[in-house]
Amino acid sequence: MKTVEQYHFSGKKALIRVDFNVPLNEQYEVTDDTRIRATIPTIQKILAEGGAAILMSHLGRPKGGYEAKYSLRHLIEPLVATFQREVKFADDCIGEQATQLAASLQPGEVLLLENLRFYQEEEKGDVEFARKLARLGDVYVNDAFGTAHRAHASTAVIAQFFADKMCGYVMQAELNNARKVLENAERPYTAIMGGAKISDKILLIERLLDKVDNLIIGGGMSYTFFKATGGQVGKSLVEEDKLDLAKSLIQKAKDKNIQLLLPADSVIADGFNNEANHAVADNRHIRDGWMGLDIGPKATEEFCRVIEASKTILWNGPMGVFEMPNFAKGTESVAQAVVKATRNGAFSLIGGGDSAAAVNQLGYGDEVSYVSTGGGALLEYMEGKELPGVKALE
């Protein structure tokens, strides 16, 4: 796979698939610009070498057709501030206006195309739609790792129309860092799995059981394990159809001599809101009508001790409902332990989605080794699946 590092962009119009699927507030202002900032090195290199940048992305999940709230027009201002230059905008990602703007684009200039997903052909991987997009540029750069697991027109199908196609710095860093925890991990190696459901992470957990020394399970998924082994979990989240699976994972970990750590206790509540009454309970004895919404103090202490002694850390999923301040302490403490281990020389990869949001919100984004921008893509890559967006560049 060719990278932007190996190419000189002088006089070229680079059509760049970026991942600008960023969160916006009610006023359509960007509330987390991590994904925009991540693309700076790739775009800067192209512009600095005398190339022009044509940026294409999706935003949100439009129902098919134009929706003002999903317009990439909202990103013009933040992009101007980021790149300190004018950003031209095409009201449509294909068609006459886009073609004319792209044709007249000069070296050092930036053109942003309207949301790709205003066309259903994008997600269908339509070849004709991809061909129309391809006509806008001379070279194709894919820097959108977050959508690399989708065989969409702009992420995979389009590559066939270019002799020069390559990955950007984001894509390259994502793949390098994922390989590092999959293939070259220094020991002790600890994986921290959180979030609501085992079913979302089952393939990754099974693969990690062949690689890690310690597997920490927190978040909503832990209660399925406790119920499977005879615990009383009250109203906590449980996947009833995954109880046997949870038991088999516990057995597999034992057979492979891996330390599987489940939280000893939880912060429990009598309702799913920040103002609910809350208490601490042993995870095998949660009272009826109450639910676990965060790991408790004992679990936090044990998890942090293991994390701080680790040399490689993969973290995917929060320890509780961290959006609610009363149930955020577990996730915050784990984040602090990961930072502490990193300062002591550990390699830490934060695996996208909610864990990335938590680490960035706490201001620790620069104090861990790498924060992935690709939630689902990273999961699929680590599960051993082939990513269409990566394959198309090979």
Asked about 231 being catalytic, the answer comes back as: no
Annotated catalytic residue within 88, 131, 197, 298 = 197
Helical pair 329-343 and 297-308, crossing angle rounded to 10 deg: 20
Annotated catalytic residue within 12, 35, 165, 329 = 35
For the CA atoms of 79, 372, 356, 377, the dihedral, rounded to the nearest 10 degrees, stands at: 100
Task: For residues 87 and 290, give the distance between their C-alpha atoms in angstroms, rounded to a whole number.
Answer: 52
- The sign of the torsion formed by the CA atoms of 166, 169, 170, 175 equals positive
Residues 6+ apart with CB under 8 A from 211: 182, 185, 189, 191
Cβ atoms of residues 114 and 62 within 8 Å: no
Asked about 197 being catalytic, the answer comes back as: yes
Asked about 353 being catalytic, the answer comes back as: yes
Q: Which residue has the tokens 């939630």?
A: 375
Annotated catalytic residue within 125, 234, 292, 353 = 353
Task: For residues 115 and 92, give the distance between their C-alpha atoms in angstroms, rounded to a whole number.
Answer: 8
Residues 6+ apart with CB under 8 A from 251: none
Assign 102 to helix, strand or coil: helix
For residue 210, count CB atoms less than 10 angstroms from its CB and return exposed for 0-12, middle for 13-18, buried for 19 or more: exposed
Cβ atoms of residues 223 and 243 within 8 Å: no
Omega of the bond prior to 297 within 30 degrees of 0, cis? no
Asked about 376 being catalytic, the answer comes back as: yes
Cβ atoms of residues 334 and 368 within 8 Å: no
Residues recognised as catalytic? 35, 197, 353, 376
